Structure 1
Amino acid sequence: MSTKNAIVRDATHRYLKERRESGESRGAFETEINRLGGTPRIQTQVRRGPAPAEVAAILGISETEETVIRARHMYNGDQLVQLADSYLPLDVAEAAGIENPDPGRGGIISRMAESGFAQTEIIEEVTQYPATQVEADAFGVEVESQLLQITHIGHTADGRAVEVTVHKPGPGWVLRFSTPLS
């Protein structure tokens, strides 16, 4: 498959500290777009509120418990290329100081590591879903078009889920995975 004009999301290396913090990058997305020669831009809205039921279950909290929600519109230049909503337990978000829209070098994963919530395992589940009207308008596709959703779950060494991010990339992405065999 040609990746000439695609955004390549390389799960093999994207969350490594040296990759996330490359230059003055604010996280994996910014690093990837910079490596492709693009111009990353992120609009972030931070608020407190309950997580969707499936996210609350992963975080091990009740559906009514507040989380810190980082809702992002992610651009390459002027083109919206991804929507991403991160949900973090309040104690983690407060300890890491990540209610600021600018998470600093390396993004929220670096802030969590600095505050004792280092992610040692990441699980990402990729599914397809039909685009809603909002997503169709955002990405320039037809309603009900099949899009990808990547649910990212970050666990600490003791197995606690400290971050769930629901990534909704627009069309034209390539997802790359590598699994060591020995």
Structure 2
Amino acid sequence: MTQTTITPDGRITRDARSRYRSRAEGGAHGAFEAETRAQGKRPRAEVTVDRAPAPAPVAELLATEAPVIIRARRMYADDALVQLVTTYIPADVADAAPAVAQLDTGLGGIITRMSEAGFAQTEVTEDVTQVPASAEEAEALGVATGAPLLTITHVGRTVDGRVVEVTQHTLGPGWVLRYGVPLD
């Protein structure tokens, strides 16, 4: 299956049909790292981890008002910042899989750590919306404040339907998102 690609001019095609299955390829610590390396680019992430309440829409998805683990990342391909990513994980999941609260989550990233702790994600939904860039996003991604940016809200659920991860990806300019739907 086609992998995510990065063209010489920096256009990124994110192929959601295969990205989560390849998250540990080549010793990668998550899908972004695996995809970026496969394109001959050097992946890099600036990561901060905190425990705080999630924004109301995220708290509703996670079914908790209690503080959660928040992983904020700036993701780079070579020296180009290509996305801003914030992940929210319920505290009890992070307590069972403590590596998800570390700066380096290890081979396969947080999805693998959750699976090892009994919180395997068996269903993922991703909503793609267009949002105006905040001043902070605009400065980071090199666009005008209010410029339209694509945001992917990734929601990972266990076999019993529990949401164990909400990740919001705010994409820089030049992204193409590719999805596939089986027609049975």
What TM-score, normalized by structure 2, do the two folds share?
Answer: 0.93
Sequence identity (%):
53
CA distance in 1, matches of 2:174, 2:41: 14
CA distance in 2, matches of 1:26, 1:8: 20
SS in 1 for 2:37: helix
Partner of 2:15: 10
CA distance in 2, matches of 1:38, 1:167: 19
Q: Does 1:96 align with 2:97?
A: yes
Offset from partner CA, 1:8-34 (integer Å, 9 cap, x none): 211101111xx0110110101111111
CA distance in 1, matches of 2:164, 2:146: 32
Dislocated runs of 4+, deviation >6 Å: none
**What are the within-5 Å matches in structure 2 for residues 26-175 of structure 1?**
26-62=29-65, 65-97=66-98, 98-175=100-177
SS in 1 for 2:129: strand
CA deviation after TM superposition for structure 1 residue 178, in Å: 0.8
Offset from partner CA, 1:145-176 (integer Å, 9 cap, x none): 10001000000000000000011010111111
Offset from partner CA, 1:123-144 (integer Å, 9 cap, x none): 0000001111111111111111
Amino acid aligned to 1:91: D
Offset from partner CA, 1:91-133 (integer Å, 9 cap, x none): 1011111111100010000000000000000000000011111
The answer to whether the 8 Å contact 2:126/2:153 transfers is yes
CA distance in 2, matches of 1:143, 1:10: 28
Offset from partner CA, 1:50-98 (integer Å, 9 cap, x none): 0000000000112xx1000000010011111110000000010111111
Aligned residues: 177
CA deviation after TM superposition for structure 1 residue 3, in Å: 6.5
CA distance in 2, matches of 1:49, 1:29: 25
SS in 1 for 2:27: coil
Partner of 2:183: 181
Unaligned runs of 5+ in 2: none
Q: Does 1:21 align with 2:61?
A: no
